[in-house]
Structure 1
């Protein structure tokens, strides 16, 4: 008889456990699934982050025209910091920019801003030669120069590193990242953090280029 009572109590404990804990466990797995789904949606560009308002700028382009952020109102555009005599990552960055130009050549709502960090060398005349050398033919691609202090200050506002370094190749250091700005002047990106900075796109590899093509297309359609 005592054995029977033991089985009954064990059965009751199992039943109570099932009634109380099983729904919670199921719910926890469901919530985890939703979180993972949300993470994958961001990674797959279903929802691009709004990083913040892009800072204003005003510089001179390769045609000696004053170009400001207002010239890009209503356009999706990229911002990079580079210099024409850079012997390391700039050629790769510029090559990828040309690929993006070619991808969106006929798209009036897309543009590129390439800002030199060596304005002493990169005069409008030199930037024009550099643009021709690269094959930069898109009318909304401007190569900008100005006062070094203003350029460096803008890079800090974008949180894209630039700096002088006499030991670095070419005498300067800079980030190889591209900032993507939407038609409302908001910096946008996927949920990717690079070295603790804002989530920008790596302009030096194929993965970053692939993501940019997809995300630019999405922002143009919005």
Structure 2
């Protein structure tokens, strides 16, 4: 009887050791990578280049890369950002990294809503080659834009527009901010890799879902 109890005890102790060893192994090896959850994206109600109302709720269900600049010819930072966004638009037009996942969306909110009216945004979009199915241009009342861009996304800019904090913000399909890229340059390959991470996490089910939850707990983030 004592021998049986001894073996049982050893098995119990062995079982207790497996859990912390597995936790340590996961934390060190980080077999699953995730993007951090940086907080909810702001709510908004703005208008697009056709004058139609657009809200944050319409962004749900697909990842969105937000950007912020003006269509002014003097906005050289905006010109650089436009070039990178067109490269992403072209990349996505050739197919999503995962055909079963929703195609990402580009959304640019102007920093000059007084001059960037819907008509002006539409003319600019046609001139540079914006695909309205993949890239939305938004404007609105000055205060509304300020609240979304300045308060919601934390992007500093002057009024009237002059210097501004150029950045891109990646929001997942659930409306959570997952990455911020300092502009005006943008590594398109990095964005594509981050989108693939989001898509794999969104598709996870069962035990894999638990692994992704653990990855957030242990901050298994990509090394930049």
Provide the TM-score with structure 1 as the length reference. 0.69
CA distance in 1, matches of 2:163, 2:159: 6
Quote the residue 1:204 is aligned against: 184
CA distance in 1, matches of 2:121, 2:199: 28
Residues 1:114 and 2:108 are matched in the alignment = yes
Residues 1:173 and 2:154 are matched in the alignment = no
| Structure number having the greater strand percentage | 1
> Residue 102 of structure 1 is aligned with which of 77, 90, 98?
90
Which fold has the larger relative contact order, with Cα–Cα distance below 8 Å and residues 6 or more apart in sequence?
Answer: 2
Quote the residue 2:80 is aligned against: 92
Matches within 5 A, 1:70-85: 70-85=57-72
Q: Confirm or deny: 8 A CA contact 1:95 1:134 kept in the other structure.
A: no
Q: Confirm or deny: 8 A CA contact 2:169 2:177 kept in the other structure.
A: yes
Quote the residue 1:159 is aligned against: 154
Give the number of aligned pairs: 168
Quote the residue 1:53 is aligned against: 40
- Residue by residue, what CA displacement relative to the aligned partner does 1:93-127 show, whole Å, maximum 9, x if unpaired? 11111111111124443111111111111111110
Give the secondary-structure state (helix, strand or coil) at the position aligned to 1:217. helix
Q: Confirm or deny: 8 A CA contact 2:34 2:198 kept in the other structure.
A: no
Distance 1:220 1:129, change over 3 A: farther
Q: Confirm or deny: 8 A CA contact 2:34 2:197 kept in the other structure.
A: no
Q: Which has more radius of gyration?
A: 1
Give the secondary-structure state (helix, strand or coil) at the position aligned to 1:205. coil
CA distance in 2, matches of 1:163, 1:204: 17
RMSD of Structure 2 on Structure 1 (CA): 2.1
CA distance in 2, matches of 1:220, 1:98: 22
Q: Confirm or deny: 8 A CA contact 1:119 1:145 kept in the other structure.
A: yes
* Structure 1, gaps ≥5 residues long: 1-30, 166-170, 190-199
Provide the TM-score with structure 2 as the length reference. 0.68
| Cα drift, residue 138 of structure 1 | 4.4
Q: Confirm or deny: 8 A CA contact 1:101 1:138 kept in the other structure.
A: no
Runs of 4+ in 1 over 6 A off after TM superposition: none
Q: Confirm or deny: 8 A CA contact 2:37 2:178 kept in the other structure.
A: yes
Q: Confirm or deny: 8 A CA contact 1:98 1:136 kept in the other structure.
A: yes
